[in-house]
Amino acid sequence: MNKWMRHLRIILIGLNSVLLFQGCNFLMFDPPEDKYAVDFDNSSEHNILLVFLANDSTNPLYWRDSLKINTNETKEHFRFVREGEMTNDIENIEKASNRYSGFTILLFRDDELLKTWTGPSGYYSDTINSPFNYNSWEFKPASNRPENILSAVTFTITDKDLQ
């Protein structure tokens, strides 16, 4: 019996080593979901502040959020999970823009309110730069991000928006 216990102990130690050090998927967590980042890019010559206000304060999801973005800087606002075979850029842009439905977005420069953007989201003229205009968003590669971030849906703020 003593000989059997010694062999069993050696087998268990060997099995543990294989499972832990060889990367057996048996004990691994689910891999992270594929996501898209939603970015705001400030290509203007000034530092800006974006304030996101929910339009319905009785909504339990009511929140206020802000992003301070320096000149020529891009900031990520949130990420969303890729659903199914969602590989179409247009679907991702619509999903990003629709996330802001029910919100008012305020654009400030040096504590001065310059612009107020309100929904609904849709396809508007290319001359209208708004987070609620699907035509104002673009798809960019996700560089320097975690592996599960596939790409970024980006809204760019220009000097023209600050006039």
Residue 34: band (very low, low, confident or very high) from pLDDT cuts 50, 70, 90: confident
Two tokens, residue 155? 């809204």
Same domain, 48 and 24: no
Is the CB of residue 101 less than 8 Å from the CB of residue 121?
yes
Same domain, 155 and 140: yes
Length of the chain: 163
Beta strands 149-157; 35-42: pairing state: parallel
Is the CB of residue 139 less than 8 Å from the CB of residue 150?
no
Same domain, 25 and 51: no
Residue 61 in this model has a pLDDT that exceeds 60: no
Query: In total, how many domains does the chain have?
Result: 2
Same domain, 40 and 87: yes
Beta pairing partners, 73:
42
- 3-state SS, residue 86: coil
Same domain, 55 and 118: yes
Question: Of 126 and 87, which is predicted with more confidence?
Answer: 126
- Mean pLDDT for all residues in the chain: 79
Q: Which domain holds residue 118?
A: 35-162
Q: What is the pLDDT of residue 123?
A: 92
Same domain, 41 and 12: no
**How would you class 100 by CB atoms within 10 Å of its CB: exposed for 0-12, middle for 13-18, buried for 19 or more?**
buried
